Structure 1
Amino acid sequence: MTADHQNGHEQDDVLEEKSVDSAQTEENESTESNEDEVLNAEIVEESSEGTDLQKEIEALKASELRIRADFDNFRRRTNEENAKRVKFASQSVIEKLIPLIDNFERALQVNATSEDAKQIQSGVDMIHRQLLDVLNAEQVEVIEAVGQPFDPNFHQAVMQEPSDEFESGIVTMELQKGYTMHGRVIRPSMVKVAE
């Protein structure tokens, strides 16, 4: 073989090695770039999963806060309702006692002439005062009517009459006492109002 021929083979071998090397390099680079893409895709997927998880955690926290707030509101309303129930528990009994008070007051308006009648009236007065003490203990108060401006929240007008003594819209006479309990009207005053 000639040196030129041998050199040509060597050059071909070198070129083949270079082309194999460059193919391997390209393949390695391609593999590395594929691996980088896979890693990047995994990172993106993990970060999107992380973002989704973070959003879900935030949504759960917000839901928990709403549930806690709803429960606190429920507990507060329940406590208020229980307090009102206790506060007005005796209202139905007091509403039944009020006509008794009316009757005691009518009995006390009678002029007792005999000594026996005066003693009976004294006993009636004592019972009347005890009933009023019970009502006061339950914060039952009489509604002021005569001389007050007519208020449909507290007064029930059954008559209107012209009056020289009172201006128009003023209560001139109370026909039946009205009562409030803890500020709530349990019976309005029955009144006459000036025209």
Structure 2
Amino acid sequence: MRRHTMQSYMRAAQAGEELQDENGESRPDQEGLNPDGEEALAAEDAEAAAEQSQVEARIKAEVEELRLRSAAEMDNFKKRLNREHQEQMRYAAEKVLSDLLPTLDNLDLALQYGSKHEACKDMLQGVAMTRKLLLEAVTKHGLTPLGEEGEEFSPEVHEAVGFEARPDLAPGVVARVLQRGYKLGDRLLRPAKVMINQ
């Protein structure tokens, strides 16, 4: 209100009119106008402009920070989707390969027990070739067998089902593989069931 009144006084003074104060009373032309009042008015305008520019700068900084944060979140979202897609593609065959494990187990058993009979010798060659072809096919998809006699026992890939004494092997190693384990990439599908040498 004060600023508006000061501006009215200044315009009236320039036009040579008689000035009126807030109560409507007349004031002499130059008496009510004060050079300090003009400076105060200019100072207030400068202060208001400075305050407004600070507010604008703060709003711009907040908007820029929000834009950068949104861009970073979007980038992280894209990376996560890409990672999940790669993971899904890598392990897409897990269910099918898991279903093939009993077939490989039966072929292993046929080779193990059929080798004791001389009459099965020719048939065992066919079984061995079938097992080899099947194992090559699943290996192309990342499946690798686990568990060999004489290897160091590891609870990460072996499941101990008992102990066995074999003097030809060091203590604590796999003495016999009862059921082969399998791994798909870095993921363990099934641990190998083994006997540990005492």
For the aligned pair, the TM-score class normalised by the smaller chain equals 0.7 to 0.9
Say whether 1:87 aligns with 2:90.
yes
CA contact (8 A) 1:177 1:188 kept: yes
Say whether 1:107 aligns with 2:110.
yes
Say whether 1:189 aligns with 2:192.
yes
CA contact (8 A) 1:156 1:188 kept: yes
> Cα–Cα, structure 1 residues 128 and 164, in superposed 2: closer, same or farther, change >3 Å?
closer
Aligned equivalents of 1:83, 1:73: Cα separation in 2:
15
Aligned equivalents of 1:192, 1:26: Cα separation in 2:
113
**Matched residue, 1:39:** 42
1:151 counterpart SS class = coil
**Matched residue, 2:149:** 146
- The equivalences for 1:39-58 within 5 A come to 39-58=42-61
Q: Alpha-carbon deviation of 1:165? A: 4.0
**Matched residue, 2:129:** 126
1:71 counterpart SS class = helix
2:159 counterpart SS class = strand
Q: Which amino acid letter does the alignment assign opposite residue 131 of structure 2?
A: H
Q: Which amino acid letter does the alignment assign opposite residue 71 of structure 1?
A: M
What are the superposed Cα offsets for residues 57-86 of structure 1, whole Å, 9 maximum, x if unpaired? Answer: 111111111111111111111101110101
Aligned equivalents of 1:87, 1:166: Cα separation in 2:
37
> Cα–Cα, structure 1 residues 168 and 53, in superposed 2: closer, same or farther, change >3 Å?
farther
What count of residue pairs does the alignment treat as equivalent? 169
2:144 counterpart SS class = strand
Query: Which has the higher Rg, Structure 1 or Structure 2?
Result: 1
Say whether 1:158 aligns with 2:161.
yes
Aligned equivalents of 1:154, 1:96: Cα separation in 2:
19
Q: Alpha-carbon deviation of 1:181? A: 1.2
Higher helix share: 1
Aligned equivalents of 1:107, 1:174: Cα separation in 2:
15
CA contact (8 A) 1:178 1:190 kept: yes
1:138 counterpart SS class = coil
CA contact (8 A) 2:163 2:195 kept: yes
Which runs of 5 or more structure 1 residues have no equivalent in the other structure? 1-22
Task: State the TM-score, normalizing by the size of structure 2.
Answer: 0.74
Task: State the TM-score, normalizing by the size of structure 1.
Answer: 0.75
Q: Alpha-carbon deviation of 1:107? A: 1.6
Aligned equivalents of 1:154, 1:173: Cα separation in 2:
14
**Matched residue, 1:98:** 101
Q: Which amino acid letter does the alignment assign opposite residue 158 of structure 2?
A: H
CA contact (8 A) 2:147 2:158 kept: no
**Matched residue, 2:11:** none
Which runs of 5 or more structure 2 residues have no equivalent in the other structure? 1-27
> Cα–Cα, structure 1 residues 107 and 48, in superposed 2: closer, same or farther, change >3 Å?
same
